[in-house]
Structure 1
Amino acid sequence: MTDSYAGLWAFLFLLLGNGFFVGAEFALISAKRAQIEPRAEAGSRPAQLTIKGMERVSLLLATAQLGVTICSLLILLIVEPSIHHLLEPVLLSTGLSENGVATVAFTITLVLVSFLHVVVGEMVPKNISFSIPERAALVLVPILFGLAILVKPIVIALNATANGILRIFGVRAKDEANSAFTLDQVEDIVEHSTREGVLSDASGTISNTFEFTEKKVRDVAVKVSDVVSFPESVTPREIEVAVSKVGFSRYPLTDEDGDLIGYLHLKDVLDLDLDEMDDPMPIKRIRSLISVPDSMELEDALASMRRVGAHLARVFNRGGKVTGVLFLEDILEELVGEVQDATKRD
Structure 2
Amino acid sequence: MGPGPAVIATVLLLVGNAFFVAAEFALLAARRHRLEQAAAARKRGAASALAGVRELTLMLAGAQLGITMCSLGLGVVSEPAFAAMLDPLFQAVGLPAAAGHAVAFAVALSTIVLLHMVVGEMAPKSWAISDPERAALLLAPPFRAFARGVRPLLRALNGISNAALRAARIRPKEEVSIPKDAEGLRRLVGESRRLGLIGSDEHDVLTATLRTHTEPLARLVVPADRIDAVPADAGPEEIVAASRRHGRNRLLVRGADGRLTGVLHVREVLSIRAPHPVAAIGATAGELAAPVLTLSVDTPIQRAVAALRERRASLALVQDAHGRLLGMVGLDDLLGSVLGGTQAA
Global fold match (TM > 0.5): yes
Whether the 8 Å CA contact 1:53–1:145 is kept in 2: the answer is yes
Tell me, yes or no, if structure 1 residue 92 matches structure 2 residue 194: no
Tell me, yes or no, if structure 1 residue 181 matches structure 2 residue 190: no
Structure-2 change in CA distance of 1:88 and 1:61 (3 Å)? same
SS of equivalent residue, structure 1 residue 204: helix
Structure-2 change in CA distance of 1:205 and 1:9 (3 Å)? farther
Q: Deviations over 1:266-311 (max 9, x none)?
A: xxxxxxxxxxxxxxxxxxxxxxxxxxxxxxxxxxxxxxxxxxxxxx
Whether the 8 Å CA contact 2:31–2:133 is kept in 1: the answer is yes
Q: What does 1:37-186 correspond to in 2, within 5 Å?
A: 37-178=36-177, 180-182=178-180
SS of equivalent residue, structure 1 residue 193: coil
Q: What does 1:233-312 correspond to in 2, within 5 Å?
A: none
The one-letter code matched in structure 2 to 1:158 is: L
SS of equivalent residue, structure 2 residue 45: helix
The one-letter code matched in structure 2 to 1:82 is: A
- Equivalent of residue 213 in structure 2, options 191, 206, 215: 191
| Aligned position for 2:239 | none
**1:190 CA drift (Å):** 3.5
Aligned positions, number? 207
TM-score w.r.t. length of structure 1: 0.55
| Aligned position for 1:204 | 306
Q: Report which of the two structures shows the higher radius of gyration computed on alpha carbons.
A: 2
Q: Which has the higher contact order (CA 8 A, sep 6+)?
A: 1
Structure-1 separation of matches of 2:309 and 2:40: 28
Structure-2 separation of matches of 1:196 and 1:150: 60
Structure-2 separation of matches of 1:119 and 1:19: 9
Structure-2 separation of matches of 1:205 and 1:65: 50
SS of equivalent residue, structure 2 residue 93: coil
Whether the 8 Å CA contact 2:214–2:301 is kept in 1: the answer is no
Structure-2 separation of matches of 1:51 and 1:99: 54
Q: Any stretches of 5+ residues in structure 1 without a counterpart?
A: 209-335, 337-346
**1:205 CA drift (Å):** 9.5
Q: Any stretches of 5+ residues in structure 2 without a counterpart?
A: 186-208, 221-299, 311-334, 336-345
SS of equivalent residue, structure 1 residue 192: coil
**1:182 CA drift (Å):** 2.5
| Sequence identity (%) | 35
**1:146 CA drift (Å):** 1.4
| Aligned position for 2:23 | 24
RMSD over aligned Cα atoms:
2.6
TM-score w.r.t. length of structure 2: 0.55
**1:35 CA drift (Å):** 1.1
The one-letter code matched in structure 2 to 1:204 is: A
